[in-house]
A and B are shown apart, each in its own frame.
Chain A
Amino acid sequence: MTRSLVSVPPTARRGEIVDIRAMIAHPMETGYRMGPNGAEIPRHIITRLVCTYGGAEVFSAEFFPAVSANPFVAFSLIAAESGTVAFEWTDDEGQTETASAEIVVS
């Protein structure tokens, strides 16, 4: 549905705390605005971001209309073992956007 960017370090030591960053291009239309013709602009926001690591959910966030356009999320993880860090954003219309990155833990 759109474009996303994620940053996961490609390698880490076991037990290391690593920074994860994720951003998605999205208008985050609040539903409170009126268009030029006076008609309400329907709400269209990302409602949820879920991040899994090695298949298990490690982070999730719910978004609301007050969240800005192109929401940017940063958090940290403990690098436990090599695996896939996957992201899934879901919007009001039920559409999803996914991204993933591999991390090698030694």
Chain B
Amino acid sequence: MAAGAGVALASPAVRAQAAPRVVVIGGGFGGASLARALKREDPGIAVALIEPSGHYTACPLSNAVIAGMREMKAQHFGYAGIEDDGIVHIQQKAVRVEPDQRRVVLADEVRLSYDRLVVAPGIDLNFEAIPGYDEAATQLMPHAWKAGEQTLLLRRQLEAMEDGGLVVISAPANPFRCPPGPYERASLIAHYLKTHKPRSKILILDAKDAFSKQRLFEAGWGALYPGMIEWVGLSFGGAVTGVDAGTRTLRTEFGEHRAAVANIIPPQRAGAIAALAGVADRTGWCPIDPVTFESRLVPDIHVIGDAAIGGAMPKSAFTANAQAKACASAVIALLRGRDPGEPKLINTCYSLLAPDYGISIAGVYTPQNGLLAEVDGAGGTSPLDAPAAVRAEEAAYGEAWFETITTEAFG
């Protein structure tokens, strides 16, 4: 597995003749899609994917797992397909990057040389942002914002809750992973509660005044779950300023809420390796060139997916996959001495409000003034007034999209 690492110090002349080496950190939608796109487009490139986990747990549709509509194993994807493509999966953690030597250091101190490095670490939760909400508190007030054990913990808490309980969801300010996610989650929890614990209520405390697909969500809540979901925005005192995990209490500027089940979605930042590699700035996210996705801070390192500052592009699996393909083309062009073309990127986010009720938002993005900007008039959302059949179709499209993207990323 790490046999290639020993030849790290070959002279530049020798290296120039060898296959160009690309190292990818992170085996999520961004990193996995990118590794495969590289191999597909240019099989002559040696690609190594550094990912400590033996499988990936996908976030899209994990809200359905929380609501008991879907089993966790449907979210798991292995790396066998990636290995079959000739990509080396190194099941280790990257602990450091030495950009001057163009090397990645693994947990066992093995060094991997690269010609181009792609960093796709996703997000880390910021445990300094909300007083009282640290790693230990996640066991009592789950975030469930990285799919896995936390997803199942939130599900178990909802299952154990008595009818009539108050579920409080704390949503962060922008930017964060999956902008419609907290509201899809509220919808699907409401679906579960309506079916099993109909006297219960959901309160969303939000650190912002507006959210993705807001009118569609609010119309859907009115139709499907009347009186069940209350949303409190920033201007009405929605920002959570502290929590007490022991009593499941959330504090705001103007009051306190005691929850039966509390889901704290804290502010986020790029995965830790981004800061260690020097590609994250003071915001915690990674500034990039929107044409090549190369870091604005460190040469020869590209950043894609949630960790990157994507301008108008939301942080989603769809975005990570789209950026992966555009970045792969740019990396190949740079390695082969060609000019990378301007990418045109698409994002679509489907959200479920109930098993047969889906809505979507789509956008098209191009580089503009150094950022990814939305192309006016190219995207849009589902119609506000639509018959049930349209909502059911969109729910099915969402599931079909998940099949497509996971097949593309993981095989």
Contact = CB atoms under 8 A, between A and B. Distances in A.
Interface of A: 3, 5-7, 21, 23, 25, 69-70, 72
Most buried by B among A3, A5, A21, A72: A5
B182 to A, nearest CB: 21
Contacts of A3: 236
Given A3-B236, A21-B254, A70-B209, 14 more contacts: A5-B237, A5-B253, A5-B254, A6-B254, A7-B253, A7-B254, A23-B235, A23-B236, A23-B237, A25-B235, A25-B236, A69-B235, A70-B234, A72-B253
B42 to A, nearest CB: 50
Contacts of A6: 254
B230 to A, nearest CB: 14
Contacts of B209: 70
B236 A21 contact: no
Contacts of B254: 5-7, 21, 23
Interface residues of B, number: 8
A70 B235 contact: yes
Contacts of A70: 209, 234-235
A25 B253 CA distance: 15
B253 A21 contact: yes
A7 B255 contact: yes
Contacts of B236: 3, 5, 23, 25
Nearest to A24: B235
Contacts of A23: 235-237, 253-254
23 contacts: A3-B236, A5-B236, A5-B237, A5-B253, A5-B254, A6-B254, A7-B253, A7-B254, A7-B255, A21-B253, A21-B254, A23-B235, A23-B236, A23-B237, A23-B253, A23-B254, A25-B235, A25-B236, A69-B235, A70-B209, A70-B234, A70-B235, A72-B253
Contacts of B253: 5, 7, 21, 23, 72
9 closest residue pairs by CB, A with B? A70-B235, A5-B254, A7-B254, A5-B237, A21-B253, A25-B235, A7-B253, A25-B236, A23-B237
A69 B233 CA distance: 13
A61 B237 CA distance: 21
Contacts of A5: 236-237, 253-254
B232 to A, nearest CB: 10
Nearest to A26: B235
Interface in B216-272: 234-237, 253-255
A22 B278 CA distance: 41
B252 to A, nearest CB: 9
Nearest to B209: A70
Nearest to B235: A70
A1 B209 CA distance: 20
A1 to B, nearest CB: 15
Nearest to A6: B254
Contacts of B235: 23, 25, 69-70
A72 B237 CA distance: 10
Contacts of B237: 5, 23
A43 B234 CA distance: 24
Contacts of A21: 253-254
B168 to A, nearest CB: 18
B205 to A, nearest CB: 13
B315 to A, nearest CB: 27
Contacts of A25: 235-236
Contacts of B255: 7
A75 B4 CA distance: 63
A21 B251 CA distance: 14
A20 to B, nearest CB: 11
B223 to A, nearest CB: 25
Nearest to B237: A5
A69 B254 CA distance: 18
